[in-house]
């Protein structure tokens, strides 16, 4: 009998990029989840299969053998899972083989934290299977460390939101703080389908900040004010203000060079169809945009994003972090 665990995807609602320079950001877990089933094996191998990516392979100790799909891709995608599973086996003290099957509803490579969600869910599923009790704090640590080995993500935003769920305020020097957001946040997420690299986008911002420090500095301050105003808007259930703040945040991100044609098209289309606000989310240069909308306009916004060439879906905030199904 197997154990199934799941963990949510993330979006950055406010403050991406400026967060790298010490400003705050607001991150949200959404109701798209990665599901991982873990079962014991009769040998000591770790077998991983991803139904979405059509990849499967086998780790015998640290030697990886591909079964299905591209070996390099599979090794890169599965390595953080192996790292996390190794840690759990060490805690368990027994060399038990594990079968892992991944089913995810999160678009891959779009900045929605699919990789961290898979690792967090794998950690909880394998921990439960091998009777290793793990606190959420431990799951976060293990996911963070496993992700760092492969992706080198310094901020840890993705592992944190996948583990804890809800809404988190993040700042480099103070870390994560949960925000108690009671209001519903109806969103349409539009995937541009344009590939992007977080590293390249972060470098692009660095160049602008270095070349125009006296222009960048007030932009940073404005980004911080947007986050602070958003926290007030959450308390007041003020969806309209949140929408306006999203538009302003997008303008700042455009200013530091990380928007791109399709992100502009999709954001314009969403606003024109009645969204209260729209912005790129995450690294930019492609990937996804998000639009905040009243419930009654969601369908129109979704259609508009689709007509503008995006792949849209409706998403809502979820307070459920990593969990056993």
Between 157 and 248, name the residue whose CB sits nearer to ligand PMV.
Answer: 157
How far apart are alpha carbons 162 and 322 in whole angstroms?
6
Residue 158 designated active-site: yes
Q: Does the footprint of ligand PMV cover residue 20 (CB under 6 A)?
A: yes
Which runs of E-coded beta strand occur in the chain? 3-14, 25-40, 46-50, 55-60, 63-68, 98-104, 167-171, 175-179, 187-191, 277-281, 288-292, 311-315, 323-324
Q: Report the distance separating Cα 59 and Cα 78, nearest Å.
A: 9
Nearer to ligand PMV, 216 or 283 (CB): 283
Tokens linked to 162: 């996948």
Name the residue nearer to ligand PMV (CB basis): 19 or 102. Answer: 19
Catalytic residue among 95, 158, 232, 295: 158
Query: Among 282, 286, 310, 321, which residue interacts with ligand PMV (rule: CB under 6 A)?
Result: 282
DSSP 107: P
Whose CA is closest to 25, among 172, 145, 137, 243?
172
- How is residue 56 written in tokens? 């499967």
The residues, any chain, with a CB within 8 Å of residue 305's CB and separated by 6 or more, are 188, 190, 266, 269, 270, 273, 289, 291, 312
155 binds ligand PMV (CB under 6 A): yes
**Shortest separation between residue 202's beta carbon and ligand PMV, angstroms:** 6
Residues 6+ apart with CB under 8 A from 92: 130, 131, 132
Angle, CA 159 vertex, CA 141 and CA 7 arms, to 5°: 115
Asked if 17 touches ligand PMV (CB under 6 A), the answer is: yes
Instruction: Show contacts with ligand PMV in window 196-215 (CB under 6 A).
Output: 198, 202
Binding to ligand PMV (CB under 6 A) within 82-121 occurs at 111
262 binds ligand PMV per the rule CB under 6 A = no
**Should residue 190 be labelled a site residue for ligand PMV when binding is judged by CB under 6 A?**
no
* Shortest distance in whole angstroms from residue 292 CB to ligand PMV: 18
Binding region for ligand PMV (CB under 6 A) out of 13-21, 84-92, 97-105, 126-134: 13-21
- Among residues 10 and 89, whose Cβ is nearest to ligand PMV? 10
Residue 154 as a binder of ligand PMV (CB under 6 A): the answer is yes
Rounded distance, CA 218 to CA 306, Å?
Answer: 35
Please report how close the Cβ of residue 111 comes to ligand PMV at its closest, in angstroms.
3
Which residues does the annotation mark as catalytic? 158
Site residues, ligand PMV (CB under 6 A): 16-17, 19-20, 111, 153-155, 157, 198, 202, 282-283, 287
């Amino acid at each position: 009998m197997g154990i199934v665990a799941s963990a949510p995807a993330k979006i950055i609602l406010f403050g991406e990029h400026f967060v790298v320079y010490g400003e705050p950001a607001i991150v949200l877990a959404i109701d798209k989840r990665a599901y991982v089933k873990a079962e014991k094996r009769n040998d000591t191998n770790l077998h991983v299969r991803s139904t979405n990516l059509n990849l499967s392979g086998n780790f015998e100790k640290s030697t990886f053998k591909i079964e299905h799909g591209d070996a390099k891709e599979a090794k890169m995608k599965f390595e953080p899972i192996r790292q996390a599973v190794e840690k759990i086996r060490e805690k368990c003290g027994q060399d038990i083989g594990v079968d892992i099957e991944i089913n995810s509803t999160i678009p891959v490579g779009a900045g929605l934290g699919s990789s961290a969600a898979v690792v967090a869910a794998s950690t909880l599923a394998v921990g439960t299977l091998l009777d290793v009790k793990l606190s959420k704090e431990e799951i976060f640590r293990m996911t963070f460390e496993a992700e760092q080995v492969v992706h080198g993500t310094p901020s840890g935003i993705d592992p944190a939101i996948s583990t804890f769920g809800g809404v988190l305020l993040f700042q480099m020097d103070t870390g994560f703080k949960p925000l108690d957001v009671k209001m519903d946040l109806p969103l349409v997420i539009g995937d541009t389908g344009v590939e992007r690299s977080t590293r390249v986008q972060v470098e692009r911002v660095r160049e602008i900040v270095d070349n125009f420090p006296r222009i960048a500095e007030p932009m940073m301050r404005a980004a911080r004010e947007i986050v602070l105003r958003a926290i007030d808007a959450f308390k007041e259930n003020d969806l309209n203000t949140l929408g306006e703040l999203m538009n302003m945040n997008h303008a700042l991100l455009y200013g530091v060079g990380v928007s791109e044609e399709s992100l502009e098209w999709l954001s314009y289309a969403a606003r024109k169809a009645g969204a209260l606000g729209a912005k790129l989310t995450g690294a930019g240069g492609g990937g996804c945009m998000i639009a905040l909308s009243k419930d009654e306009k969601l369908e129109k916004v979704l259609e508009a994003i689709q007509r503008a060439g995006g792949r849209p879906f409706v998403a809502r905030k979820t307070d459920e972090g990593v969990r056993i199904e």
